Copies of this chain bind each other. A is one copy, B any other.
Amino acid sequence: MFERYNKVQRAVLETTLHLIIDKELQATSMSLIAKESGVSTGNIYHYFSSKEDIINELYKAIVLFNGEFVTKNLNAADSVQEQFRRAWRSVIELGKNHPKGFRFIEQYSFSPYIYEQSKLEAYKGGWCGPMEKIYRQAIDQGLFVELEPHMMVQMHYGSIVYLLKSHQQNMLELTADVEEQALRSFWNAVSKEKGWNE
C-alpha cells in the first residue's frame, strides 16, 4: 500500500494508520507513533514536516491505492452492467480486505484536517470519476433513469459504507450472496425498466 515510500516512511504511515483506526486521532500521539513504528521522534520529523503532514500523506497514499484497486478490474470493452458489477464488487472487496484504509478515507474525506489540495489530488487518483462515467453510459444507453451520476454514485457508495460498517460490527454477515443482492438492489434502484438483465 505504501510501495512508493522508503522503509522509515512506510513504517510511520502503517503505524499511524493502525493507531488512528484503533484508537482515534486524539489518542494517536507522536510519541506513540514513534514507539510503535520503531522510528524515533526526531527521525520522524526528518521525513515528515508535521503530524498533519503524516495524516495528509496517509490520505493521499490510500486514495491512490484504493483508486487503482477499483479501476484495475475495469475493462471498457465490457458491457455497462458488467462494469457496474465489477466496480462495486471491487469497492466491497476493498472494504473487506483493507478495512483500515477504507475506514480512514471514510472518516477523513470530509475532515478539515485534510488539506483541500490533498482532496483535490485524491479526486484525480480515486475511483469516483470512473464510476460516474459508468453511470453516465448507463443513462445514455437508456438503462438508468436520468439522475445526476454523482448523486447515484454517492447513494450507492453510502449504502456500501453502511453495509461494511454493519459487517465490521458483526451485525450482518456480508456473504457473496448478500453482496449480490445488494448490487442487484443498487441496479434496480435506478434502472429504467426493473430487472437485473441476465
Residues on the B chain within 8 Å of A113, using CB: 24
Please give me the residue from chain B that is nearest to A103 by CB atom.
Answer: B110
Residues on the B chain within 8 Å of A154, using CB: 159, 162-163, 165-166, 171-172
- Give the contacting residue for A24; candidates B111, B191, B194; CB below 8 A: B111
A112 touches B23 (CB 8 A): yes
Interface membership of chain A positions 99-130, coded 1 if the CB is closer than 8 angstroms to chain B and 0 otherwise = 00000000000111100000000000000000
User: Taking the complex as formed, is A1 at the interface, i.e. its CB lies under 8 A from any CB of chain B?
Assistant: no
A112 to nearest B CB, angstroms? 7
Query: Copies of this chain, how many?
Result: 2
- Label chain A's interface by main secondary structure: helix
Residues on the B chain within 8 Å of A112, using CB: 23-24
Residues on the B chain within 8 Å of A142, using CB: none
A181–B194 Cα distance when bound, in Å, is 15
Chosen A-B contacts, 8 in total, with CB atoms closer than 8 Å, are A24-B113, A25-B26, A154-B163, A154-B166, A155-B162, A188-B191, A188-B194, A194-B194
